[in-house]
Amino acid sequence: MRDVAIIGVGMIPFGRRDEDSLLDMLAYASLDALDDAGMSEKGVDAVYVANMGAGILQHQTSVASALVDRLSLQPAAADTIENGPASGASAIKNGVLAVASGYYDTVLVAGGEKMREVVGWKATDFVATMTHPEVEYPYGITLPGMAGMFTRLYMEKYGLTQEQLIAVAIKNQKMGALNPYAHVNMVITREGIYESPDAAVNNPVAADPLRFYDMCPVSDGAAAVILCPLEKAREISRKIPVLIAGFGQATDTHTLQEREDPTDLKAVTLAAEQAFRMANLKPKDVDVAELHDAFTILEVAESEHVGFFKKGEGGKAAEKGETSINGKIPINVSGGLKSRGHPVGATGVAQVVEIVFQLRHELVPKRQVKDAKVGFTLNFGGFGNNVVAFVLRRSE
């Protein structure tokens, strides 16, 4: 198996992009990645596109084929990858395997979603299609509802507090305000979202005990990466290659209530263990991480299940500032899903793009983790029933 490197990345600002179609967004991000790699379109052997909802939201399928045509990449192979909110990381994993095997030399992976065409209950219903079709969806279960119940259980078991969740929300929106790609660029304060007379209106309960500012926005957006063998990386691109040192993927029982311990995110632990084992590294070696914080509780729980903190210590660490940019392990200095946004098909790719920026030391000082050499991403599908993790390393 060949070592695989990322030689180009591209991303467009997330948010409400009424002027762009899904194909427009995917094309913009892909062209940015090709430019970043110093490549022409004709150098691409295969295209993997991550997308969850085009068939439902845009009445469009075969998105990868459409992107190949839009970019004039024919006769490149094309596959659309759907794995719920973990579609992006799954698409990258498939691209990595194709290059590592020697079947393809250069692969474009793009992820995108146009979700703002539906809002409110329609957007919630779209995301809820990943729940169990017989024992969850027909009874009105939603992902925010699951997150609320999970949070309550975590509070009861580990002593997690509202203050600790607030610390995550404040941190991530502070970092998002510095990120030009972020959907939400507004700094928030504890007083503004929790203590002020307007807090009940500005930050209402959404899924008790979670409030409005514990949740990510509904976003449009796209991101892309270019993969090639490490030994050919410097021949193709003048940028510092970023090695995909390890990856892992694991599944868990679909329905949360049927798990032996609903607070135990087994797929997160297993996917992370696989990625670290393949990379021959440990959680303590990570300089910067992107965790899937569709809800603030997930950043806390994932930070523990990945191995950055012991069970019950993740919330305390966030409250102490240990996950801030200058802390023990900087987490979601992009703003995370909480602030950057969560166009579901794009998220896993965007996480990797952020880590590439960090490991190439290309960000502004307020967002750059000093001397970052090892990065980690976790893309969380369903409610932890399909999880993909990557360990990335700067290759000098």
Lowest mean pLDDT among 6-20, 38-52, 116-130, 219-233: 116-130
Angle, vertex CA 157, rays to CA 156 and CA 158, nearest 5: 100
| Residue range 138-158, pLDDT digits in tens | 999 999 999 999 999 999 999
Q: What is the DSSP letter of 129?
A: T
Phi, psi for 362 (deg, rounded to 5): -110, 0
Query: What pLDDT, on the 0 to 100 scale, is given for residue 219?
Result: 96
| Residue range 61-86, pLDDT digits in tens | 999 999 999 999 999 999 999 999 99
Query: What pLDDT, on the 0 to 100 scale, is given for residue 307?
Result: 98
Nearest to 68 by CA among 81, 55, 80, 54: 80
Q: Three-state DSSP class for 143?
A: helix
All structural domains of the chain, each given as residue ranges with its CATH number in brackets, are 4-119+218-236 (3.40.47.10)
Nearest to 387 by CA among 223, 263, 266: 266
- pTM higher than the cut 0.95: yes
Cα 214 off chain centre by: 16
Greater pLDDT, 202 or 329: 329
Query: What pLDDT, on the 0 to 100 scale, is given for residue 390?
Result: 99
pLDDT band at 120 (very low <50, low <70, confident <90, very high): confident
What average pLDDT does range 108-114 have in this prediction?
Answer: 98
Query: What pLDDT, on the 0 to 100 scale, is given for residue 162?
Result: 94
Task: Write the single-letter amino acid at 189.
Answer: T
- What is the number of other CB atoms lying within 10 angstroms of the CB of residue 117? 16
Using the predicted structure, report yes or no on whether residue 341 has a pLDDT greater than 80. yes
Sequence-separated (6 or more) residues with CB below 8 Å from residue 145? 207
Query: Token pair for residue 226?
Result: 């270019």
By the 10 Å C-beta count (0-12 exposed, 13-18 middle, 19+ buried), 138 is classed as exposed
Query: What pLDDT, on the 0 to 100 scale, is given for residue 324?
Result: 98
Query: What pLDDT, on the 0 to 100 scale, is given for residue 196?
Result: 77
Using the predicted structure, report yes or no on whether residue 200 has a pLDDT greater than 90. no
Using the predicted structure, report yes or no on whether residue 123 has a pLDDT greater than 90. no
| Residue range 281-327, pLDDT digits in tens | 999 999 999 999 999 999 999 999 999 999 999 999 999 999 999 99
Greater pLDDT, 189 or 42: 189
Query: What pLDDT, on the 0 to 100 scale, is given for residue 347?
Result: 98
* Average pLDDT along the chain: 96
Percent of the chain's residues with pLDDT above 70: 100
Is the omega angle on the peptide bond into residue 75 within 30 degrees of 0, that is, cis?
Answer: yes
Residue 154 Cα distances to 54, 150, 158, 294, 317, angstroms:
34, 6, 6, 16, 15
φ/ψ region of 21 (left if φ > 0, alpha if ψ in -120 to 50, else beta) reads beta
- What is the number of other CB atoms lying within 10 angstroms of the CB of residue 128? 18
Exposure string of 173-192, with b = 16+ CB inside 10 Å and e = fewer, is: bbbbbbbebbbbbeebeeeb
What average pLDDT does range 126-136 have in this prediction?
Answer: 92
Query: Token pair for residue 240?
Result: 């510092």
Q: What is the DSSP letter of 164?
A: H
Cross-strand bridge partners of residue 48:
79, 109
Query: Token pair for residue 141?
Result: 């279960």
Query: What pLDDT, on the 0 to 100 scale, is given for residue 202?
Result: 83
pLDDT band at 13 (very low <50, low <70, confident <90, very high): very high
Query: What pLDDT, on the 0 to 100 scale, is given for residue 192?
Result: 86
Q: What is the DSSP string of 293-328?
A: -SBHHHHHHHHHHHTSS-TT-HHHHHHHTTTSTTSS
pLDDT band at 389 (very low <50, low <70, confident <90, very high): very high
Using the predicted structure, report yes or no on whether residue 183 has a pLDDT greater than 90. yes
